[in-house]
Amino acid sequence: MTRWTKKKRGLFAYPDFIIVCGEPIYHDEQRDVLINPKLIVEVLSPSTEAYDRDEKFRRYQELESFTDYLLISQERPRVEHFAKQPDGQWVYHIETDPTGSLFILSVNCRIPLSEVYEWVSFPNPFGD
C-alpha cells in the first residue's frame, strides 16, 4: 500500500485509494510514500470518519497536487466530493441517488454510484 506524507512534519496518512497524474513523486528511496496525489478516496467507518473529515483532510490540503477528495459511506449510498477550485476554495457536492454519479473533472472520470456500491447490500430502512 502506498501512503502519503507531509515532509515538513513527517506525518503519515494511509488513504484507501489514490490517483496520481503524471510521474509519482516519492518521499524517499523506499518509494512507499507518495507526495503528489491528485485524488484521494476514503471509505468512511465509524471509528475513522471524524478524523477523515477533519484532520486528515486538512493535512491532505497542504499538498499542492491534491485537488479532489471523495468520502464514501459504508452505511448507505452516499459519496461526498470536495473539489479544489483555481482560487483555492473547496466546492462540496454530494450524491445519494443510487442511480446517480459524480464527475471528477481533474481526472476526467464519471463515477456511477451503482459501480461504487455494486456488491453492497444495504438494509431496508422500512423493514420490508
CA 4 to chain centroid: 12
Residues 18-70 have pLDDT tens digits of 999 999 998 888 877 889 999 999 999 999 999 999 999 999 999 999 999 99
Instruction: Residue 31: name the closest of 67, 63, 70, 5 by CA.
Output: 5
Q: What pTM was estimated for this model as a whole?
A: 0.86
Burial of 87 (0-12, 13-18, 19+ CB in 10 A): exposed
* Distance between CA atoms of residues 113 and 74, nearest Å: 12
In the predicted structure, residue 127 carries a pLDDT above the cut 70: no
Question: What was the pLDDT predicted at 117?
Answer: 96
Q: What is the pLDDT of residue 7?
A: 46
Query: What pLDDT sits at residue 50?
Result: 96
- Cell 512507499 found at: 32
Find cell 484507501 and name the residue: 16
Tens of pLDDT, residue by residue over 8-21, are 455 667 799 999 99
Q: Averaged over 2-13, what is the pLDDT?
A: 54
What pLDDT score was predicted for residue 125? 60
**CB of 36 within 8 A of CB of 63?**
yes
